[in-house]
Structure 1
Amino acid sequence: MRLEAVSITNFRCYREEVRIEFDDLTTFVGRNDIGKSTILEALEIFFNGDLVSMEQADANVHNADKTVSITCEFSELPPTLTLDAGAETTLADEYLLTKDGSLKIRKTFDCTNKKPTAEVLVIANHPTASSCSNLLELKEKELQKKVKDLGLEVALKGNPGMRRAIWAASGDLQLREIAIPVGKLKDDVKRIWDQIEPHLPMFALFQSDRSSRDSDNEVQSPMKAAVAAAIAEVQEDIARIQAKVREKAEEIARNTHAALATIDPNLASELTPEFSPPSAAKWQGLFSLSLSTDDGIPLNKRGSGVRRLVLVSFFKAEAERRLQTSAKRSMIYAVEEPETAQHPNNQRILIDSFKALSEDSGCQVLLTTHSPGFASSLPQESIRYVSRHSETKKPQIQSGVDAFGQVAEALGVTPDSRVQVLLCVEGPTDVLALKALSNALYQSDATLPNLASDDRLAFVVLGGGTLEHWVNQHYLRGLNKQEVHIYDGDVPEYAESARKVNERGNGSWAVVTTKHEIESYLHKDAISMAFGFQIEITDHPFEGKATPKVFGEAFVAHSGSGKPLKDSNAKRKLAQQAFPCMTAAMLDERDPDGEVRGWLRRLGSMLT
């Protein structure tokens, strides 16, 4: 399941409902004490209630109503649910989805109670006709009576089948969006929640201001997440164990029931065995994992920077692991201020790891930051700007193009004083590719700038979907730096963006590649050196397939994984492994007109 959005109402500063949509990578940016961490903690309460739990004081102080609600919307839903006696059903068949086909789950908390507990509801487009609005609450015998009264030809075993037959015979169901309680009721309604809950994403929150207790520090969350990730991959084994335990427990219960019937038949008739398997959270609680340092000093007693390095290492290792395996249950990693106490090199490692994780199927990453350097290195489409309305002072969240200028102003984005030229490209793989190509040419001609090490140049990743807005609005104007824009030739509209940059008259310039995209400048020998197989590289797509697609198909065939490789992952693999194998001779063969050399020579003339 994939988290699409969360709606928060009456929780801390969010008095009125605020809805936040999520991408694979989502970054919350804003000033201190503006409500960024509140969003992540609301999700922690929804999914776990462990690291952060709902308290009386969490209800908005300015609202007399002390009911807090957290509503999550999900896509990529389980195809079937298995209910009573092995009867399979679907969320759609049970009318448990919204009009848009998403699953919307709401947890409400009455914060007038000393220890608020969650009431779980499914918000769905559900039948409200009086004759069939409560079928989910009816027991088997009650459904059987309805079937007989309606004279329906349907098996009297399997509640889902009987419900479907009754709904089909009821005419106008009067479908409306209603809240269906599923967390406290028994029988089928409760079983539906028991079936949904194991499919929810695993959620791991890494807070920025942890206490220094042994049980709650920077090392524990990564290790807890490691246990959670491991459990997520053995769900089938856990299900088999639970089924075996259930089988044996119910056998013992039946034998006990039979013995009781010989003693007191009336009492025996009133007893019904009910099996409740442990939740995912309880399985996680059965295991612990810790780390110790070689010199005997407890890790949680080391400096904050060292402790946070565990976080860096965890994300780097997890990113690499998930690229090679396929976890069956989705994961959400939520990290507050990951740049805290970290050297810039470690920040870059973190950013690369976050991007790699977010590109993997079944994985989402949520971040908060108020660091200009960190935020500027993240994809622009991931940004969610959290602020307060200038008049009402209510929290508001903006995303996409509308937030760019405000983010820059709020964070006080300023370039390194050594930077003379901003090199603007579409995506992070373009950065790696250009650095590798310039380094290869620099080895044979030291008069050319080496983009991999020259501090006088700084890359700006514009993002293909928002490139025109960066150009039209000239968001970087306030930095007073000359700009060089290099765009792939695969999008015709980029020619217009390049023309506008070239017309500025301030020394900035832009080019569009003559080949389809930067990957078209690769040499097949570089791919062979990096991956052990060759592909034919063409200047433009052949039979509708560009270089990343051709490489992706060859990579899957060579590795035998059978899992399709998305173009974004193919581009990343080529950027990280194939481009560094390029030599000046290889590039000269692929670029006989010296196009790339020309860019670098022109760039070098701008530097002093």
Structure 2
Amino acid sequence: MYLEELVIVNYKSCNLVDFKLKSDNPNIFIGLNDCGKSTILKGVELLFNKVNCSFNKEGNNKSDLSNSTLSQEEFINIFRERDLPVFEHYDENSIYVLGKLKIEENELDSFSEIELSNSLSWMLENLIDNSIWLVKKINSDNTIGYLALNVHQEYKQIYTDTAANLNRIKRDLNISPDDITNSNAAGRFSNLELIRAINSKLELERLWTEYKPSKSDSDIFPEFKYFDWNCSMEEITSIATGLMKDKIDEFILPIKETALEKAQLAEEAINEEFNRIQEIISSVAPEIQSIKSKIHFEVKERVSDIMVQKLQSDGLIHLDNQGEGLKRKIWFSLIKAKAENVEQTGFKKYIWAFDEPETHLYPGAQREFFDILKVLSRGNVQTIISTHSTIFIDKANTNDILNTYKLENGYCTSSN
């Protein structure tokens, strides 16, 4: 899956910036200093990661909200121009990012074994143009995601409803067991099976529906990373984890399978215990007929530390104790190694944004680095670069260059 289009609204100097991206070539933003290139890269991150944005509050004068925000009519036009349902939750005190994520050919099959949220599962079963449209709304109180789903206005909440509520709706709509397809041909109907049956009885329309992702939903979206030359240990270990993922998977996948099996056993045991104490629960809360639990054992893998052996050192030294110059060399070498080992087939799993990567590189190294990014882009990494380097521009396809500049009103824009 890769990012095909992005719109950034009310974020710093990007009160309205929109652009389309290529999947298999470096996407290059070129422009003068202070024209918004770094802000655009950070705006892309807002769609994928949880980012703490600043808003004007009592005692805080720093704000990531644009000084002049879009009017509601200007905001609505963004959706009309893309033949999308009108977003009804606009307010001028929030930052918005609208993204179109393109699913690659045959990629849906790779999602079949992942336990996704009901809303995302329904989205994938009813794709239009093999694409997912996602909105992130960010303000001082919270961050809310929305998906453009085929739903019924009165029953938009069913994707996060309890089984009890779904069964009530099923009765209200006179849905019989014969109307519901049980995927396992045994046991109770799952919430998603009930949702499918409910929607089959309704007139659906495409609407923006609040999206509450499950823990596994992140497994299908590309992982976004922002890189500049201020190398942190977190960035270096992140690249190392991505580079070594195949090796890590050999050992971690059996552990994840065991964790899933143990979680199911734990769930059964806990639910048996809930059944045992149901009489006590009912004596305190008579309206509660039963309590059920869902258990998830999270297994996370990452390279936690990197040690180096230097020619003049006596033993291993933690990389974090080394100078910035050596960290940059390790950072560069890991990216180069990733390019040399990149899969030329397969699906996009990463979006890597590089902010002025030519910094600290002499011209020959700049040319080498751009060639590395081209190789990465042909594999499972979508690359986005902000740069001043004429070498990057000369080596790029002109269709992949996005000119970034500041308008007379002080806000930035970008165009091919």
TM-score range, shorter chain: 0.7 to 0.9
Extract unaligned runs of 5+ from structure 1.
184-189, 211-216, 400-608
One-letter amino acid matched to 1:158: S
Q: Structure 1 287/158 Cα, relative in aligned 2: closer, same or farther at 3 Å?
A: same
Note if 1:223 corresponds to 2:234. Answer: no
Query: How far 1:11 sits from its partner (Å)?
Result: 0.7
- The one-letter code of the counterpart of 2:151 is P
SS at match of 2:391: helix
1:105-504 aligned at under 5 Å gives the runs 105-111=134-140, 113=141, 117-124=142-149, 126-130=150-154, 132-152=155-175, 153-155=178-180, 157-170=189-202, 172-173=203-204, 175-176=205-206, 178-183=207-212, 193-208=214-229, 210=230, 217-218=231-232, 220-231=234-245, 234=249, 236-237=253-254, 239-261=256-278, 264-266=281-283, 269=289, 271-276=291-296, 278=298, 283=300, 287-292=303-308, 294=310, 295-296=312-313, 304-323=324-343, 330-360=349-379, 362-389=380-407, 391-399=408-416
Contact 2:239–2:334 at 8 Å: present in 1 too? Answer: no
8 Å contact from structure 1 (residues 5, 21) kept in 2? yes
Question: How many Å separate the matches in 1 of 2:256 and 2:146?
Answer: 25
| Residues 48, 230 of structure 1: alpha-carbon distance in 2 compared, 3 angstrom cutoff | farther
How far 1:385 sits from its partner (Å)? 0.9
- Is the Cα–Cα contact under 8 Å of residues 29 and 402 in structure 2 kept in the other structure? yes
Q: Which one-letter code corresponds to 1:122 in the other structure?
A: L
Note if contact 1:218-1:311 (Cα within 8 Å) is conserved in structure 2.
Answer: no
Provide the residue aligned with 1:69 in structure 2.
96
Assess if the C-alpha contact under 8 Å between 1:35 and 1:395 holds in 2: yes
Q: Which residue type is aligned with residue 315 of structure 1?
A: I
Partner of 2:88: none
User: Can you list the C-alpha shifts for 1:490-515, whole angstroms capped at 9, x where unaligned?
Assistant: xxxxxxxxxxxxxxxxxxxxxxxxxx
Find the residue that maps to 2:333 and give its secondary structure: helix
Q: Match of 2:341, SS? A: helix
User: 1: CA distance between counterparts of 2:372 and 2:48?
Assistant: 24
Per the alignment, residue 186 of structure 1 pairs with none
Q: Compared with structure 1, are the counterparts of its residues 251 and 28 closer, same or farther at alpha carbon in structure 2 (3 Å cutoff)?
A: same
Report if aligned partners of 1:319, 1:356 keep a CA contact under 8 Å in 2: yes
SS in structure 2 opposite 1:322?
A: coil
Shift of 1:376: 1.7
1:199–1:142 CA distance, 2 compared to 1 (3 A): same
Whole-angstrom distance in 2 between the partners of 1:381 and 1:182: 34
Instruction: Specify whether residues 272 and 162 from structure 1 end up closer, same or farther in structure 2 by C-alpha distance, changes over 3 A only.
Output: closer
Q: Secondary structure at the match of 2:399?
A: helix
Structure 2's unaligned 5+ residue stretches are: 56-62, 70-90, 181-187
User: In 2, distance between residues paired with 1:242 and 1:327?
Assistant: 27
TM-aligned CA deviation for residue 84 of structure 1: 9.1
Report the secondary structure of 1:275's partner residue.
coil
- Write the distance in 1 (CA, Å) between the matches of 2:297 and 2:144: 19
* Contact 2:156/2:209 (8 A) holds in 1: no
**Structure 2 CA distance, aligned partners of 1:321 and 1:103?**
29
CA distance in structure 1 between the partners assigned to 2:266 and 2:122 by the alignment: 28
| AA aligned opposite 2:170 | V
Q: 1:293 to 1:371 in 2, by over 3 A?
A: farther
Aligned length: 361
- In 2, Cα distance between equivalents of 1:293 and 1:373: 34
Q: CA deviation at 1:353?
A: 0.9
**Higher gyration radius (CA):** 1
Match of 2:82 in 1: none
Q: Which residue in 2 is equivalent to 1:36? A: 37
CA spacing shift, 1:244–1:161, aligned 2, 3 Å: closer
Letter in 2 for 1:292: V
**Alpha-carbon shift at residue 206 of structure 1 (Å):** 0.8
CA separation in 1, counterparts of 2:414 and 2:223? Answer: 25
Q: CA RMSD in A?
A: 3.4
d(CA) in 1 for partners of 2:347, 2:356: 28
Preserved CA contact (<8 Å) 1:84 1:158:
no
Task: Measure the CA separation in 2 of the matches of 1:327 and 1:307.
Answer: 30
Contact 1:202 1:329 in 2 (8 A): no
Q: Distance in 2 between matches of 1:142 and 1:10?
A: 38
Residue 317 of structure 1 deviates from its aligned partner by: 0.3
Distance 1:305 1:299, change over 3 A: same
SS in 2 for 1:91: helix
Q: What secondary structure sits across from 1:352 in the alignment? A: helix
Question: Closer, same or farther in 2 for the Cα pair 1:328/1:247, shift >3 Å?
Answer: farther
Q: CA 1:396 to 1:123, structure 2 compared with 1: closer, same or farther past 3 Å?
A: same
Alpha-carbon separation, structure 1, partners of 2:335 and 2:160 = 44
Q: Report if the CA contact (8 A) 1:13-1:60 is conserved.
A: yes
Q: How much identity, in percent, do the aligned residues show? A: 21
Letter in 2 for 1:23: K
Partner of 1:409: none
User: What is residue 66 of structure 2 aligned with on the other side?
Assistant: 60
Offset, 1:9: 0.9
1:396-448 deviations in whole A, cap 9, x for unaligned?
Answer: 2111xxxxxxxxxxxxxxxxxxxxxxxxxxxxxxxxxxxxxxxxxxxxxxxxx
Deviation at 1:12, TM superposition (A): 0.6
| Shift of residue 26, structure 1, vs aligned partner | 0.6
Asked if the contact 1:121/1:182 (under 8 Å) is kept, the reply is yes
Whose relative contact order is higher, 1 or 2, with alpha carbons under 8 Å and at least 6 apart? Answer: 2
1:283-340 Cα distance to aligned partner (Å, 9 max, x none):
35x641324351348756766554422232112100111148x777711221111111
1:5 corresponds in structure 2 to: 5
* Alpha carbons of structure 1 residues 301 and 26: separation in structure 2 relative to 1, 3 Å: same
Q: Is this contact kept in 1: 2:116–2:217, CA < 8 A?
A: no
